[in-house]
Amino acid sequence: MGLRGSSTTELGFQNVKVPAENVLGKKGEGLRLALTVLDTGRLSLGACCVGAAKMMLAGAVGHAKERQQFDTYLKDFELIQEKLADMAATIFAMESVTYLTAGLADRGVADFAIESAITKTFCSEGLWKVVNHAVQVNGGTGSSPSIRTSDSCATVAST
């Protein structure tokens, strides 16, 4: 479980003396400083989810424009239109919350922990929804290894 690109390991120190010039921040505020790093990581994860969701939508739209069933393009079926519209609306909301949180970070707001946690959760759940719709729009090929939706399902499931 977790992020594939994150090399998370345990690190412990015993009886280590840190010279005063090497101390980051004020003495006793190390945990707060370390937790602040999580805020930007959560924000970055939200942004990555937005990018992946846009890729899924583009692929689903392309497939719906090309694939015909019963002499009708998939894009002309109401259920497919509903899925594509829901994907687009979800992506809009994901992108909006990500931009809002990035704006807080850019302005130097000291504490945006709640907003970054919301961004991470909302965007990762939104990506799962978008990937699920993309798999359905792609039909039988949606779970094929040659189609990116199957890769994205595995990636989303592991985050």
Report DSSP letters for 95-109, one per residue. Answer: HHHHHHHHHHHHTT-
pLDDT of residue 31: 81
- pTM for this prediction: 0.76
77 three-class SS: coil
- For residue 157, what pLDDT band results from cuts at 50, 70 and 90? very low
pLDDT of residue 9: 81
Question: How many C-alpha atoms does 70 have within 13 Å on its Cβ side?
Answer: 4
Is there a contact between 87 and 57 (Cβ–Cβ < 8 Å)?
yes
Q: Which residue has the higher pLDDT, 26 or 147?
A: 26
Is there a contact between 113 and 128 (Cβ–Cβ < 8 Å)?
no
pLDDT of residue 21: 87
In angstroms, how far is the first alpha carbon of the chain from the final one?
A: 7
- For residue 18, what pLDDT band results from cuts at 50, 70 and 90? confident
Of all residues in the chain, the percent with pLDDT exceeding 70 is: 83
Residue 115 pLDDT > 90: yes
Map out the domains of the chain with their CATH numbers.
Answer: 34-157 (1.20.140.10)
Q: Which residue has the higher pLDDT, 71 or 157?
A: 71
Of all residues in the chain, the percent with pLDDT exceeding 90 is: 54
pLDDT of residue 11: 85
- For residue 8, what pLDDT band results from cuts at 50, 70 and 90? confident
